[in-house]
Structure 1
Amino acid sequence: MNNANQPGYGGWPQQPQEPLPPQQYQQQYQQGQPQQYQQFPQEPVQGQPPYGYPGYGQPPVDDAAATTLLPPVPALDDAAATTLLPPVVVSGAMPVAPSVPGPTPAPMPAAAPVPQPQPAAPAFDPPTMTLKRPVAPGPVPGAPVGPPYPGVPSQPAPQPAPQAGPRGRTGSPIIDPGLQPALITAGAAALLAGGAALGQVALALVVALLQVLTAAGWFRLNGMWPARQGIALAALAGFTADAAVLLADTDNGVAAVVGTLGGFFLLVLVLQTFRPSDPKERFYALTVLGSATVVTALCTALLLAAWVPAGVGAVALATVLAAAPLPGPKQLGPVLGLAAAVLLGLLVGAPLALGALAGLGALVGRRVAAYDFPSRFVHMTAGVALPLAVAAPLIWIATDLLAG
């Protein structure tokens, strides 16, 4: 058995011995002698710990003396540690801490910018955790911006800009054409009267010019520009109606105009239905193109009507007097224009309704050209052509349907 008191067994660690010379080590190995182990002394030797344990037999270490250089640890105060946290707000805007009175600030230089007050930070609502953004009150018109400082003049707050209307314009969207478009309308009426005196072909040429002007002005009046294809299609419908009336018999002229309108309106419907665009834009384009086709083709009614010089003369008088800068109320000009149109029809011996319907059509066409902040281009196209274009079918009704 192993002996617990034998060195190298149990709790005694084996001590290394002095190395032997090679000759002596070989001699002992050949003789079979066991290696000699160094025995530990029973009594501790001065300056050496017994049994090989370091620190055994040494005096104890004083921990208090070793930690005298460490600073004392202060106790933690939770209230003092959380003083920098903001107060908890249940809902609404975060309260602003009252200002602490301090020394009066030094006067700012005249060129220094005036500081702007900062808006309060938004707060959270604990039940829903939704961010509430309180609307900060805007500056009072005319009030100074920022607190006044000695030596710095107060700056007035900017006045809020008025709400702009369509296309950045303000005021009424109805602007009547001026006197210059009315005078051009009177000149076009004179050309129509001269063409009617020369014959149907000459009158058809002047009507064709009126139809081109009507189509261009109608598209621009409705906010569609450029619309070359639409203008060309509407003008083509008018030219086709003119040719159909010239080629048809006297009794079939109305049927020629109606048939032309039906065919071109069907063509417009098919083209706009299969047009690759937004549905809302397609419907708007269909409305404008269809109405332009109708208005342009109805100018052909002048080729069917009698008393064309008297009718276009009534249109010219009503348009010029409605646009003339007459003293008095604004309605005085249209009233005088309508009365002058009726009087002209009676003077030349035309049917009773001719002057009234021609003057009424002129005033309606002029009013239509005044809608939705019209531009000068609208006034010089639609403002010139629409009084004659709207009055054309009314002249035919007054001289053929009502007179017969």
Structure 2
Amino acid sequence: MTDMNDPNHGGGYGNWPQQPQQPYPHPHSHSQQPQQHAPQHPYGYPVDDEAATTLLPPVPAFDDAAATTLLPPVPAFDDAAATTLLPPVPPLDDAAATTLLPPVRVSGAMPVAPPQHLGQPPVQQRPVQPQQPSRARHAAPAPQPAAQQAAPAAPPVAGMPGTPLAGLPDAGAGFDPPTMTLKRPGAPAAPPYGSLPAQPTPLAAPVGTPPGRTGSPIIDPGLQPALITAGVAALLAGGAALGQVALALVVALLQLLTAAGWFRLNGMWPARQGILLAALAGLTADVAVLLADSSGDAAAVVGTLGGFFLLVLVLQTFRPSDPKERFYALTVLGSATVVTALCTALLLADWVPAGVGAVALATLLAAAPLPGPKQLGPVLGLVAAVLLGFLAGAPVALGALAGLGALIGRRVAAYDFPSRFVHMTAGVALPLAVAAPLIWMATDLLAG
């Protein structure tokens, strides 16, 4: 059995037998000798380090001095020696620091002066003396290399004190302070340094956009709607003198104005179906009063109101829309039906000319531009309505209720920033529509 540790048997790691060195054949040599190969161990162990490096040239020991013989000598670092090629640097001064900047010229503004500190006198510019290089820290400075000793003196650097700024363009001709942005053709000029930036111009509102609503939302109808109300009152008085049928025709016109103005006053427009339904309720009440006898005319009005209100409730309940919108539409349509149908009460009253005359007088005085406080017109209108009823021989409450209904209807037509259409419909019809049931109450219910 072979012992791996026995050197005689070639065992062990690193104890392989020495092989005689064979001379390395020269590539140009004509003598070809057979190349001798070292015997390989059958187990495939690595070769010995000494045997593997026999063909390499000898490597000398590493020495710092020998390795750096080709490098030039490095002199000792010294501040004075390191800065000999640099120009002298003057001490930092506000006046000296701003002397290198070219003058800034801005159109329409004064030249910009150097910044000054608050509470200090202005800094006077004085010639800057070149600073002497600092002395060496050691008495004997290190020798300089030949390349540095033979180097010529550095040329003066442009921009240093004492150096003329030749060939530089004028900064005010093509740049704006303080960012020195290049001007472009057609671009607006920058504001002068230190001035406030220009405020942006507010954009104009698009055409057709309503202006912002300011002030009180109550806008009373003017004198023109009051004059039209007086004209409709005169038509009612003439229709009452001609008979029930003529009065019913004028009342139908009043009911159509009331329905249209009420829907527009409540913000629902266009609502043709609602307007037609409310106007149909008023016309049905008029026909029912004309067909009924004297004892059942009031019941005809109440029955018509009940039937149309039930129809409105059914239509709005089964309407495919949002519940909130459905409730709002139900409220507006129901109230429009009631207000329109109550105009039929003029067909039941006895003192129609005196009542509508009181309404017209109260409306005109309330809208007239009278001197004094704003409440003077309505007060005078109410007093005039009472006096008119008293002079006509009507019941005492007729003028007061007719004038009060006229003022209430005019006030309702003034709510929530009403438009001109509202003033020309609701502002005309509501004083008469609100006063119609009150006139009937004053002549029939309170007179008995």
**1:260-294 deviation digits (Å, cap 9, x = unpaired):** 11111111112222222222222211111111111
Counterpart for residue 286 of structure 1: 330
| Residue in 2 that maps onto 1:60 | 59
Name the structure 1 match of 2:260: 216
Q: 1:174-323, aligned counterparts within 5 Å? A: 174-323=218-367
Instruction: Quote the Cα distance in structure 2 between the aligned partners of 1:218 and 1:384.
Output: 11
Equivalent runs, 1:347-366 vs 2, <5 Å? 347-366=391-410
Letter in 1 for 2:347: L
Q: Percent identity?
A: 78
Give secondary structure in 1 for the equivalent of 2:414. coil
Q: How does 1:116-131 map to 2 (within 5 A)?
A: none
| Corresponding letter in the other structure for 2:309 | F
Residues 175-206 of structure 1: CA distance to partner in whole angstroms, max 9, x if unpaired?
A: 11000000000000011111111111111111
What is the Cα deviation at residue 387 of structure 1? 0.3
User: Are the equivalent residues in 2 in contact too, given 1:148–1:154 (CA < 8 A)?
Assistant: no
CA deviation after TM superposition for structure 1 residue 300, in Å: 0.6
CA distance, structure 1, for counterparts of residue 402 and residue 176 of structure 2: 68
Compared CA separation, residues 271 and 11, structure 1 to 2 (3 A): farther
Distance in 2 (CA, whole Å) between partners of 1:172 and 1:60 is 107
The whole-number CA distance in structure 1 between the counterparts of 2:176 and 2:253 is 65
Q: What is the number of residues matched between the two proteins?
A: 307
* Partner deviation per Cα, 1:75-127 (whole Å, 9 max, x = no partner): xxxxxxxxxxxxxxxxxxxxxxxxxxx96995765699999xxxxxxxxxxxx
**Change in 2 beyond 3 A, CA 1:50/1:195:** closer
Distance 2:285 2:177 in 1: 73
For residue 368 of structure 1, report the CA deviation from its aligned partner.
Answer: 0.6
Q: Whose Rg is larger?
A: 2
Q: Which residue of the partner structure matches residue 167 of structure 2?
A: none
Between the aligned partners of 1:350 and 1:67, the Cα distance in structure 2 is 137
Paired letter, 1:239: L
- Deviation of 1:38 after TM superposition, in Å, equals 4.5
Give how far 1:259 is off. Answer: 1.2
Q: Which has the higher helix share?
A: 1
The residue that corresponds to 1:15 in the other structure is none
Structure 1 residue 153, shift from structure 2 partner = 7.0
State the alpha-carbon separation in 2 of the partners of residues 51 and 350 from structure 1: 147
- The root-mean-square deviation of aligned C-alpha atoms, in Å, is 4.0
Relative distance call for 1:50 and 1:266 in structure 2 (3 A) is closer
State the Cα distance separating 1:148 from its structure 2 match: 7.7
* Equivalent position SS for 1:168: coil
Contact 1:107 1:149 in 2 (8 A): no
Please, which moves more after superposition, 381-390 or 282-291? 282-291
The residue type equivalent to 1:59 in the other structure is P
The aligned residue for residue 395 of structure 1 is 439
Instruction: Note the C-alpha offset of 1:214.
Output: 0.3
Q: 8 Å contact 2:409–2:434 — kept in the other structure?
A: yes
Q: Which of 319, 327, 339 is 2:383 aligned to?
A: 339
Q: Any stretches of 5+ residues in structure 2 without a counterpart?
A: 3-7, 18-33, 40-47, 71-96, 110-174, 179-190, 203-209
> Residue 162 of structure 1 aligns with which residue?
none
- CA distance 1:294–1:55, change in 2 (3 Å): farther
Paired residues for 1:70-219 under 5 Å: 149=193, 152=195, 168-219=212-263
1:382 pairs with one of 389, 405, 426: 426
Return the alpha-carbon distance in structure 1 between the equivalents of residues 435 and 63 of structure 2: 118
Shift of 1:215: 0.6
Distance 1:61 1:355, change over 3 A: farther
State the alpha-carbon separation in 2 of the partners of residues 64 and 258 from structure 1: 128
Provide the TM-score with structure 1 as the length reference: 0.66
TM-score (structure 2 length as normaliser): 0.60
Report deviation, 1:327: 1.3
